[in-house]
Amino acid sequence: MFNEIMREIENADGPVAMKELAKKVGVAESALPGMLEFLEKKGRLSLIRAGEWEQCQVTVCEACALTRWCAEGGKEGDK
Amino acid sequence: MASDNKPVTVALSGNPNAGKTTIFNNLTGGRQHVGNWPGVTVEKKEGTTRFDGSELRVIDLPGTYSLTAYSLEEVIVRDYVTLENPDLVVDIVDASNIERNLYLTTQLMELGVHVVIALNMMDVATARGINIDIELLSELLGIPVVPTVGLRNRGTEELKSTILSTVKGVARFRDIKVNYGKDIEEEISKLQQAIEQDERVSEEFLGNYSSRWLAVKLLEEDEKVEEDLSKYSEPGSALFKQVEASRGHLFSVFSEDIETVIVDNRYGFVAGVVREAVEREFEEPITLSDRIDRILTNRVLGFPFFALFMWLMFFLTFFLGKYPMNWIDHLMRGLGNLINTNITSPAWLQSMLVDGVVGGVGSVLVFLPQIFIIFICISILEDTGYMARAAFIMDRIMHWLGLHGKSFIPLLMGFGCNVPAVMATRTLESDKDRMITILVNPLMSCTARLPVYALFTAAFFAAHQGTVTFSIYLLGIILAIAMAKLFRRFLFPGESEPFVMELPPYRLPTLKGTFIHMWERGSMFLRKAGTVILAGSVVMWILSYLPPGVEYGSGASLAGKIGHVLEPLVKPLGFDWRAAVALLFGFVAKEIVVSTYGTLLGVGENRAMISSGLNQFFTPLTAYGFMAFTLIYTPCLATIAVIKKETGSWKWTAFAIGYSLLLAWIVAFVIYRVGLLLGLRG
């Protein structure tokens, strides 16, 4: 199943919805997150959780022009 | 097994959010106490209850998805179950998410402990049209299954009763194993044999583990199990030799990591069980977000839509921005007149305030509305959930570059400010991906460069400000792509793994939220105007005013002399000495390019006069080249500092400065020369 998941992701024309991916590889949609996390642990793909992409790694929020751009920015001052 | 007078120890395990704490509370009522697991700060809850004459001691284990040794929670659960030997483990399974939850069940079964499933959230499952044949599920797994609804305290008594009857050996319990297929099963048998034949291991170590579980873990290359086992068996022992032989054999059969094959089989087992015992009355409907995504993230339409939104953003920035811009312009002009009228001497003070402070800072401040509007647009795109989609749309291009899709995130952030964007590259696991993303990040046009484009497009492309600015941003993206490809090819060769991204649903942004975001970001620009830009303007005024007696801002001033030294470098691009000075000071912060012209021209912040001043030194062709140069050349001082910090290397920092300067020169040169060839006025 893992190889099929990888194949579907690699050969996809664009974003694949979890629902579609689950249908294509014949697993229940709710099982997919766990399988994807395992593949991530194995270094075969990486996962970006909702909101994670907005996070920056600024250590001093005051120095950043985009405090809201990162999830924690501007809330606690210096991280 | 517990005797009649000894309490029955029950461990509660389950996935996070499966309702474990609720079941724990239902089982124990108020009789519980909280502490920490030994040596760690993970909370440990323990409680007691009496049922049918027996005392139940209930331990709430941390929520976990599996029993590998990847996380602290997993290790705690595994160690507790194997080393503390509870009489029974209650596995709380979320019935509405059964496929994922049963994966942990398979691992608990493998440990060889008594397991009872509390099939929780049955009400949610029913509402979602998920029908579970409890009897069949129990039959297929070989363990008792009790349906519960934790939030309504349903099924608690049945659960207690099943716990006791299972511990007492009354309830049905069959030893069902995940079948890993002939090849793996053969090696598991060999390993089990080797484990049992190793005297010390079987006498001193195995007591806590099932030999099958240990064999599977050794095939999975579980580091913790290996470490524990090595205390009882030498690395060169028959057991470890068998481990190596089994791994080697299985690798030659499957040509891939054995853990992956084993985990794949577990999921296969779960899928089989679910297929038999679970029925769905209806498919989940396609959401509105799914429908919108079919268009906005479509392979063909996705990129044109992305480009359209970008263009629209710049169009709105200039179209809507011109009105408030005029108000600030009038305000600044009034301020200049006020100073001129009231401070007549000394002349240098008047000049410094009008030409230096008002001319320099004011010339940048008039672009404040546009900065705010662009931040409103970015906030809207972000709050609706579209920005996350943009990363998806760009993923194909990123892959073509050999870059990780995640690289697009810091690149997108670069449109706001390159400083946090460079820092955001820390999310990239690969050093090579990270280095490439850092090096190309300054090519993404940050908002500090917007006043430069606004000033020049207003002076030379008034009718198409949005489109011309959009083309500059696009130029930055194209150059970033090209440079990333080059860096990947020659400096950091390698491949990147694909990525999977969780997309938030589309949302309607709130007016309040959007304005708060706009203010948070825009106010930073205001602070910068009062500090760095103000200081830069005063320095530029001093250089334009001195030595005493020279014509202000002329070639004889200090600024003029510096400019003339640098002029030969920019002459081939169609620029004069003033451009060289502006670019030199723009190195500190890109807005200073604008304030430098405001100061050098000595016309206060009067935009019309700055525009007509610029018309003396630039043509539309050289103005476009100048904007391109400003986009590409040496990132600002703060970005350079952060590049040094993030790369930890002066060599790569110098490279970032050097290549961008060279690239800026080449691009501006090509624009100028091609323009001349096409007959444009240079």
Residues 6+ apart with CB under 8 A from B166: B88, B114, B116, B144, B173
Largest interatomic CA distance in chain B: 107
Q: What pLDDT was estimated at residue B439?
A: 94
pLDDT digits (tens, 9 = 90+) for B17-55: 888 888 888 888 866 666 666 665 566 788 888 888 888
Residue numbers in A near B433 (CB within 8 A): none
Q: Do B297 and A14 touch (CB under 8 A)?
A: yes
Confidence tier at B1 by pLDDT (50, 70, 90): very low
Q: At residue A51, does pLDDT exceed 60?
A: no
Q: Enumerate the H helices of B220-301 as residue ranges.
A: 223-229, 238-254, 258-277, 288-296
pLDDT value at residue B170: 67
Q: Which residues 6+ apart lie within 8 Å of B7 measured at CB? A: B48, B54, B55, B56, B57
Span B458-483, pLDDT tens digits = 899 988 988 999 999 999 989 998 99
Predicted confidence band of residue B339 (pLDDT cuts 50, 70, 90): confident
B90 contacts B144 by C-beta, under 8 angstroms: no
DSSP letter for A53, please: G
pTM of this structure? 0.64
Q: Which residues of A touch B65 (CB under 8 A)?
A: 34, 37
Q: How far is CA B65 from CA B119, B468, B583, in A?
A: 16, 52, 56
What domains does chain A contain, in order, with CATH numbers?
A: 2-69 (1.10.10)
Structure tokens belonging to residue B428:
């990239």
Q: What is the mean pLDDT of residues B302-314?
A: 88
B61 CA to chain A: closest CA distance, Å?
Answer: 20
Peptide bond connecting B62 to the previous residue in cis, omega within 30 degrees of 0: no
How many CB atoms lie under 10 A from the CB of residue B246? 23
Read off the tokens for B503.
């997309």
Q: DSSP 3-state assignment of B147?
A: strand
Out of A27, A42, A52, name the one closest to residue B257 (CB): A42
Least confident among B110-119, B270-279, B498-507: B498-507
Average pLDDT value for chain A: 67
CB-CB under 8 Å, B264 with A2:
yes
Model confidence at B508, pLDDT cuts 50, 70, 90, reads: confident
Note whether A14 contacts B: Cβ–Cβ < 8 A. yes
Structure tokens at B360: 């320099």
What is the distance between the alpha carbons of residues B414 and B429, in angstroms, rounded to a whole number? Answer: 19
- Is A65 in CB contact (< 8 Å) with chain B? yes
Summarize the confidence of residues A36-59 as an average pLDDT.
68
Least confident range of B149-153, B219-223, B336-340, B401-405? B401-405
3-state helix, strand, coil in chain A (%, to 5): 50, 5, 45
Q: Which of A42, A68, A70 is nearest to B264 (CA)?
A: A42
DSSP line for B512-559: HHHHHHHHHHHHHHHHHIIIIIHHHHHHHHHHHHPSTTSPTTSTTSHH
Q: Residue B13 belongs to what H/E stretch? A: strand B8-14
Instruction: Tell me: pLDDT of B229 over 60.
Output: yes
What are the CA-CA distances from residue A77 to residues A58, A59, A68, B532 (Å)?
A: 11, 9, 12, 21
In DSSP terms, A15 is beta-bridged to none
Summarize pLDDT for B412-421 with one digit per residue, the tens: 778 877 887 7
Residues of A in contact with B499 (CB under 8 A): 45-48
User: How far apart are alpha carbons B466 and B317 in whole angstroms?
Assistant: 7
Query: What dihedral do alpha carbons B560, B562, B565, B566 form, nearest 10°?
Result: -100
CA–CA min distance B16, chain A (Å): 12
Pick from B266, B500, B647 the residue to mutate for testing the A interface (most A CBs within 10 Å). B500
CB A30 to CB B98 under 8 A?
A: yes
Distance of CA B444 to the CA centre of its chain: 18
Residue in A with minimal Cα distance to B301: A14
Q: What are B40-95's pLDDT values in tens digits? A: 556 678 888 888 888 889 999 888 888 887 778 888 888 888 888 899 999 999 99
**ipTM reported for the complex, 2 dp:** 0.72
Higher pLDDT, B37 or B564: B564
The three-class DSSP label of residue B378 is helix
What's the pLDDT band for B633 if we cut at 50, 70, 90? very high
Confidence of residue A14 (pLDDT cuts 50, 70, 90): low
CA distances from B604 to A58, B343, B357, B359, B608 (A): 37, 15, 8, 4, 10
The yes-or-no verdict on residue A73 having pLDDT over 50 is no
Q: For position A72, what pLDDT does the model report? A: 43
- Other C-beta atoms closer than 10 Å to the C-beta of B499 total 21
pLDDT for position A75: 39
Name every residue whose Cβ is closer than 8 Å to that of residue B370 and which is 6 or more positions away in sequence. B317, B318, B321, B325, B450, B451, B454
pLDDT band at B262; cut points 50, 70, 90: very high
Please give the average per-residue pLDDT across B207-235, as a whole number.
84
Q: How large a percentage of chain B has pLDDT more than 70?
A: 93
Segment B654-674 shows an average pLDDT of 96
DSSP code of residue B492: S
pLDDT in tens, B111-127: 888 899 999 999 988 88
pLDDT at A79 over 50: no
Confidence band for A68, pLDDT divided at 50, 70 and 90: very low
Give the closest residue to B148 by CA, choosing from B125, B175, B172, B118: B118
pLDDT tens-digit map of B601-620: 766 556 677 778 888 899 99
At B268, list the tokens. Answer: 């296969």
For B165, residues 6+ apart whose C-beta sits below 8 A from its C-beta are B144, B171
Question: Would you call A1 helix, strand, or coil by DSSP?
Answer: coil
Higher-pLDDT residue of A57 and B278 is B278
Note the pLDDT tens digit of each residue in B131-147.
999 999 999 999 999 99
Selected residue with higher pLDDT from A65 and B552: B552
Question: Mean pLDDT of all residues in chain B?
Answer: 85
- Per the rule left: phi > 0, alpha: psi between -120 and 50, beta: everything else, B497 is beta
Mean pLDDT score, B514-538: 79
DSSP label of B19: S
CB A29 within 8 A of CB A18: yes
Q: Is the pLDDT of residue B382 over 60?
A: yes
Decide if B497 and A46 are in contact by the 8 Å CB cutoff.
yes
3 state SS of B365: helix
Touching check for A44 and chain B: CB below 8 Å? yes
Please name the helix (run of DSSP H) or strand (run of DSSP E) that holds residue A46, with its range, or none: strand A46-48
Report the distance separating Cα B325 and Cα B605, nearest Å.
12
What is the average pLDDT across B562-582?
A: 94
In this prediction, residue B39 carries a pLDDT of 60
Tell me which of B289-303, B433-447, B652-666 is least confident: B289-303
Position A58 scores a pLDDT of 45
When mean pLDDT is compared across B163-172, B337-346, B401-410, B508-517, the lowest value belongs to B401-410
The answer to whether residue A60 neighbours chain B at the CB level (below 8 Å) is: no
Q: Which residues of B touch A1 (CB under 8 A)?
A: 264, 267-268, 271
Average the pLDDT over B245-259 and give the result: 89
